[in-house]
Structure 1
Amino acid sequence: MLQIKLPVRAYKKLIYLASVSSFLCFLALHLTISYQRDRIPYDVLADTTDHNNNAFGTVTTGQVIRGLLQKTDSSDRTTSIIINHDSTTSSLSSSGNKSKNSIVIQKSSSAQLLPTLPMTNSTSAIILSNQTNSLIQSNSNTNSNIFESSANKQIDEDISTYLDLEPHIDSMPILGENQLLIDLENRSNNNLALTYWLKARKYPKPKSSSNVKSCRVEFPNLYELEFNNIYWQKFTTGNSSFYLYGAYYDNRWRGGPLPMVRILAMIDRIAPPPTLCQIWFDRISVPIISQATYIYGWYSKWGNYKDGFLQPYIITCKIPRIKGLPKDFYPTSVSLVDNRCLKANNNLKIINNRPAKKQEFAVCVKGLDFLHEDLSVRLVEWIELLRLMGANKIFLYDLEIHPNITKVLNYYQNEGAVELTKISLPGHQPNLPGFRHLYLKNKLTNKRQNELIPYNDCLYRNLYSYNYVALLDIDEVIMPLKHSNWSDMMAEVQRLSLMEKNYTRASYNVRNVYFLDDLNHNEEQMHHEAHEAGIPRYLHMLQHVYRSQNYTKPGQYVKCFHNTERAVSLHNHFPLNCFGTCTTYSIPIELAHLQHYRKDCVGPLKKSCKEFRQYTTRDTTIFRYKHELVQRTTHVLKTLGFFDQNSIEHTA
């Protein structure tokens, strides 16, 4: 026997080559199987009962074959299909033969049968020729198109039912810039000189002026004004911040000082720095310059008397005489600057309301803060009572109010009995609804200082419209005791005051008396579950006719009718500054008093409140208005749907 001896190194090479060849053969076989499997369409490839190895769902071999046979008719020419699967799956053959490991389907004798590939029991493979793949795809597309066509037809039929529908949208024409500005002027508390600004843009740039010297001062650009919290404008000079709310024309002191412009402001300084007023007139392209002076609207003993706290001020700008201008030529707007040649970043429209005829009584109400407290029914009763007593109009300011209160006030605005003005807090004070309420509740001195702005805004807007303004809360009523209305009462008061001292007073005050909610009732009261008989229970004032016998001290918590010819700045209870001395006349309690409807006495009177509760008396003066008040209040409540549960609104 021939033996060939090779070196050990040669044996190692042969073994290495044999191993490499085996690996390459195995790799080629694996790639061939993978290639054939990847050519099979997804809708045919299916798994066996071993679902863990199925990448396309849990479809059985029988389902695959049935689906394939449905997609091909008897005339289709296909090549062979070989399916290998484990013994747990049924085996089929087009020739009727059964096999454990393979399924062969032949539709044509001319098809070339592909070799059966060895597979594991947990794996399935379906191998199709290119022609088979194309045919199956073609049939699939055909059926898909039929289905899509049917679906599209159904969609078209569904859409056709909406063809005649037409959504309703706001078809009002879009406002141009000028129209938007005019509309904005009406919604900005009327303190923006937008109409004048539209004209000022057309004026040539100023060259000179008699009292501006050589400065060329342009009218402030509306889009460069520095706004704060919607209704305020900010002016900064040095380390002082001015928050400007409104400007008003004042020429009441006839034959005396020059006419002037008053500006309501909150300033974070006790002693504000010197500033200048740029006063603008219509048809004049340059401003008139005037030195600003300050009227402090607070007493130091009341608190917050230091820099950093916002202080209420009235800034006065005297208007110098201008030759050639008629007396009724009024200024249009005003700006504050710290340099006469500086272009201002603030500008307020000067309010100068002058109706044809002056009426008698306006009522001013500070910012309402009742977001979650529904006082709407009580508010209707209060408004109707004031109207019965002679209030010509009620001016209220809105911080945040319940939706039902808004509904009531909107109704009265449309009736012309009420004017509601939105207001905010200036500077860094919070204006988030709810949080602002908590801030004002916990910062009482700040609250009182902020209240002076709406009080004095109400005064200056109505200087030439009403003889008197009364600052009231919605739980207060100045009740005439011997007369049926304020007009007749004040005629008597004027006569008595002139008999005492022969001059007109700046204000006429009435003393405060409490009508507390839970005062003890005397036996003579007509009881009906603790309510006045014959009067609807929802009428709070008519139901509360017991008051304390004792009044608060003279001058304490009084309310006034303020003379609009004399008052310069107002506090809640009395005038602070006047032309001349702030004289006042105390109306005798036999003629009138302030009926104050509260749950409890105000904080500083807690000790006196025990006495107020102990000594009470029945006071039915309000019954003088009972019949009309019940009818008018109920009519408004019915009109607004307050007796219909579904129409009542709630806060979010």
Structure 2
Amino acid sequence: MSRSEPLKISVNPQQTGLVSERSRMSYLAIKRLVKCLALILIVLSVSLVLILKEALDNRVRIVYKEHSAKATILKLVKPISTTNRIQSVVGSSQETFVNQLQWTKCRWSSGLRIVSSTTRSPWTQMGTKEVYFHSAYWDDRGRAHRTHAFVRVLAYLRGSAADKPKMQCYYPEWRVSIQAHVQETWLPMWDQDPDEQTFRSFLVNCRVPPGVTELQSVSLSTEVCDEMATLKVVDNRFLALPKRKKFCLCVKPLLFNMQDISKQLIEWIEANRLFGAEKIVFYLYQVHRKVSKVLDHYVRLGVVQVVPWSLPQELNLLNGRDLKVFFHRKVWQKRRSEVLPYNHCFYQNFNEFEFVLPIDIDEFIFPLAVESWHEVLSGHLLKHPDEKQLIGSFSVRNAYFFRSWNPKSNLNEDLVIEAFTQRSANLSQPGFSVKSFMNTDVVVTLFNHYALSALLPTQKLTTHLNPDLIVMNHYKATCPNDFGRQCEENFLKYSMNDTSILRFVPKIKARIKAVQIDWDK
């Protein structure tokens, strides 16, 4: 073949048709793959849009997960329609909602208002209602008995006995609400028909959501998921470590602005320290300048805590003299006003102490056969070991030492317990005018004399300690006015000499001598 001749290529018609068929099949396969991928992308896109919409539409979610047969709260996730402000949810099992509690899921709060302990007034009013909240406390004692934890809220309500509003407890951190259990801290047999101007003491019990181990705040309202009044939750569980102490005393608000009782107060404090008091909490309206010096001295020693006390609204505007006149005219209001400070003292100290003792400064509870309260109660519980978990208060019976029986007494030279040795021959009957060691493992509410309610329905409110082992000497001018003929017949008519407390006088005088207070400073 010469170089100038063109190259000739022969093509087989059968080979050409085979190549075209392969190309067409590849094209169809690619087309089907593209359609599948497009469909998958569409499905994924729609799913993503739905997920995002669900996340944006639902502002509050809670899911309960069972763990070790207990309900444990986790973060977020069953949707609630935003078209409604609230939606009720009922638990599906006892593990999830103990005792079929009915909770309400709430939307986000508009703004959390936490009341600080540094605010000028300790009272928080619930909207325009005449309900005033003082403080809220974490209480998980029930969980040791497989029941509930609570936030306990101390409150005054102004109104008649028929006024007992339904309240809702709302937890802003968890966006759930539940109806509160509201109980009056009072015995119905006393002052049965208070007028509409009377301030009455209440404990508002707010159940804690299952699995929650701490809370920052609680809001209370008459409406579900509302924040008419928001309080910080005080959690003093750390005070129980490493070991609880024995005895804390609580003294109702003192109003002695014109009377110097400093000498008698030192005697009373030192006597109670000798008997076993480790802490004494004094609530104050107003006191004399020298009384303030005594209290300041013991505050520096770490023995005394002073809590300034006030009443809501216009009662707080009264000065000391006017308040004293007001309480003289309104005896039942005075007594009702004393109950809430006692319960405040209990919840401030129930984690740190085994027993809380509400007591007045004219009362001396002392052991007869041993040296301390601890020995008396330890001996009693040794004989009745179940009572520490079953009894709310251990009561001590009262013997009146009326000053009219001791006209020659000289309080400038003698101690009170030296000057008055003539007492009523009869002790107070069980349950009447007693004072009690409140068992912090059991008590929920209390008043001046004994426990009013207990943690569990199987627990009892009180038992009386043997008066041959411990008794209370009550030093008064005469019978209380409202006791009437009952006091005259039972106590004034019969008297006897009693010097059993005098064996403590040398030790008490030695302790008093060691007290150094600069009265002129």
The answer to which structure, 1 or 2, has the higher relative contact order (CA under 8 A, 6+ apart) is 2
| Offset, 1:432 | 2.2
Task: Tell me the residue number matched to 2:508.
Answer: 629
Distance 1:229 1:369, change over 3 A: farther
| TM norm structure 1 | 0.59
Distance in 1 between residues matched to 2:409 and 2:334, nearest whole Å: 36
Report the identity percentage: 27
Aligned to 1:236: 127
Question: Helix, strand or coil for the counterpart of 1:236?
Answer: coil
The DSSP-based 3-state class of the residue aligned with 2:317 is coil
Higher mean Cα deviation, 289-298 or 347-356?
A: 347-356
Q: Greater strand share, 1 or 2?
A: 2
What secondary structure does 1:249 align onto? Answer: strand
Deviation, structure 1 residue 614 = 5.5
Distance, in Å, in 2 between the alignment partners of 1:518 and 1:307 is: 39
Equivalent residue for 2:419? 543
CA contact (8 A) 1:229 1:425 kept: no
Aligned partners of 1:641, 1:436: CA distance in 2, in Å?
A: 30
2:448 to 566, 572, 589: 572
Q: CA contact under 8 A between 2:168 and 2:225: conserved in structure 1?
A: no
The equivalent position to 1:268 in structure 2, one of 158, 165, 185, is 158
* Number of equivalent positions: 414
Against the structure 1 CA distance between its residues 404 and 267, is the aligned structure 2 distance closer, same or farther, given a 3 Å change threshold? same
> Deviation of residue 631 (structure 1)?
1.8
Q: Which residue of 2 aligns with 1:416?
A: 302
* Contact 1:365–1:455, Cα closer than 8 Å, also in 2: yes
Partner of 1:597: 475
Q: 1:341 to 1:602 in 2, by over 3 A?
A: closer
Greater gyration radius: 1
Pick the aligned partner of 1:452 from 339, 364, 370: 339
Question: 1:453 aligns to what SS in structure 2?
Answer: helix
Cα displacement (A) at 1:538: 4.6
What is the identity, as a one-letter code, of the residue corresponding to 1:624?
R
What's the secondary structure of 1:321's corresponding residue? coil
Partner of 2:285: 399
How big is each residue's C-alpha offset from its partner over 1:557-609, in whole Å with a ceiling of 9 and x where there is no partner?
Answer: 01111111111110111111112243321112111111001111222445444
Matched, 1:348 2:232: yes
Equivalent positions of 1:175-324 (< 5 A) are 207-210=59-62, 213=105, 215-221=107-113, 230-236=121-127, 240-253=129-142, 254-269=144-159, 270-280=162-172, 284=173, 287-303=175-191, 304-305=193-194, 307-322=196-211
- Deviation track 1:137-187 (CA, whole Å, cap 9, x = no partner) reads xxxxxxxxxxxxxxxxxxxxxxxxxxxxxxxxxxxxxxxxxxxxxxxxxxx
C-alpha separation between the residues in 1 aligned to 2:347 and 2:238? 11
Question: How far off its partner does 1:453 sit?
Answer: 0.7
CA offsets, 1:381-431, max 9 Å, x none? 000000000011111111111111111111101101111101101233243
1:97-132 deviations in whole A, cap 9, x for unaligned? xxxxxxxxxxxxxxxxxxxxxxxxxxxxxxxxxxxx
1:485 aligns with 2:372: yes
Q: Are residues 1:559 and 2:445 paired?
A: no
- Whether the aligned pair in 2 keeps the contact of 1:512 and 1:558 (CA below 8 Å) is yes
Matches for 1:1-16 after TM superposition, within 5 Å: none
Compared CA separation, residues 480 and 351, structure 1 to 2 (3 A): same
Distance 1:492 1:351, change over 3 A: same
CA distance 1:390–1:318, change in 2 (3 Å):
same
Q: Distance in 1 between matches of 2:251 and 2:235?
A: 19
For residues 260 and 222 of structure 1, do their structure 2 counterparts lie closer, same or farther at Cα, with a shift above 3 Å needed?
A: closer
8 Å CA contact 1:216–1:341 kept in 2: the answer is no
Deviations 1:205-236 (A, max 9, x none): x943437746221443459x9x9981211003
1:442 aligns to 2:334 (yes or no)? no
**Cα pair distance change 1:606/1:255, threshold 3 Å:** closer
Counterpart for residue 7 of structure 1? none
> 1:469–1:446: structure 2 CA closer, same or farther, 3 Å change rule?
same
For the residue of structure 1 that corresponds to 2:246, the secondary structure is: strand
CA 212–403 in structure 1, closer or farther in 2 if over 3 Å, else same = same
Give ranges in structure 2 of 5+ residues lacking alignment.
1-57, 63-102
Are the equivalent residues in 2 in contact too, given 1:353–1:461 (CA < 8 A)? no
| Contact 1:363 1:471 (C-alpha < 8 Å) held by counterparts | yes
CA contact (8 A) 1:430 1:439 kept: no
C-alpha displacement of 1:249 = 0.8
Q: Give the superposition deviation at 1:517.
A: 2.0
Cα separation, 2, equivalents of 1:436 and 1:404: 21
Contact 2:399 2:426 in 1 (8 A): yes
Please show how residues 85-124 of structure 1 align to structure 2 within 5 Å: none
SS in 1 for 2:189: helix
Contact 1:508/1:561, CA 8 A, preserved across alignment? yes
> What CA distance in whole angstroms lies between the structure 2 residues aligned with 1:409 and 1:593?
26
Letter in structure 2 aligned against 1:594: M
Distance 1:320 1:503 in 2: 25
**8 Å Cα contact 1:545/1:620 also seen in 2:** yes
CA contact (8 A) 2:219 2:226 kept: no
Residue in 1 that maps onto 2:53: none
Given that 1:397 and 1:422 are in contact with CA atoms closer than 8 Å, whether structure 2 keeps it comes out as yes
**Contact between 1:353 and 1:462, CA under 8 Å: does it hold in 2?**
no
Aligned mates of 1:555, 1:352 — CA distance in 2: 31
| Local SS of the residue matching 1:369 | strand
Sort the Cα spacing of 1:498 and 1:334 in 2 relative to 1 into closer, same or farther, 3 A.
same
Is the CA contact 2:215–2:233 (under 8 Å) kept in the aligned structure 1? no
1:640 aligned onto 2:492: no
3-state SS of paired residue (2:141): coil
Q: Deviations over 1:184-204 (max 9, x none)?
A: xxxxxxxxxxxxxxxxxxxxx
Is the CA contact 2:252–2:342 (under 8 Å) kept in the aligned structure 1?
yes
Residue 390 of structure 1 corresponds to: 276
Equivalent-residue separation in structure 1 for 2:291 and 2:214 (angstroms): 38
Kept in 2: contact 1:229–1:427 (CA 8 A): no
Aligned to 2:11: none
| C-alpha displacement of 1:497 | 4.3
Mapped partners of 2:388, 2:292: distance in 1: 45
Measure the CA separation in 2 of the matches of 1:503 and 1:231: 34
Cα distance in structure 2, aligned partners of 1:478 and 1:321: 42
Which 5+ residue runs of structure 1 have no aligned equivalent?
Answer: 1-205, 522-528
Q: Distance in 1 between matches of 2:468 and 2:495?
A: 17
**Separation of aligned partners in 2, 1:504 and 1:379:** 35
Separation of aligned partners in 2, 1:539 and 1:520: 13
Query: Matches of 2:134 and 2:388 in 1, distance apart?
Result: 37
Partners of 1:362 and 1:468 within 8 A in 2: yes
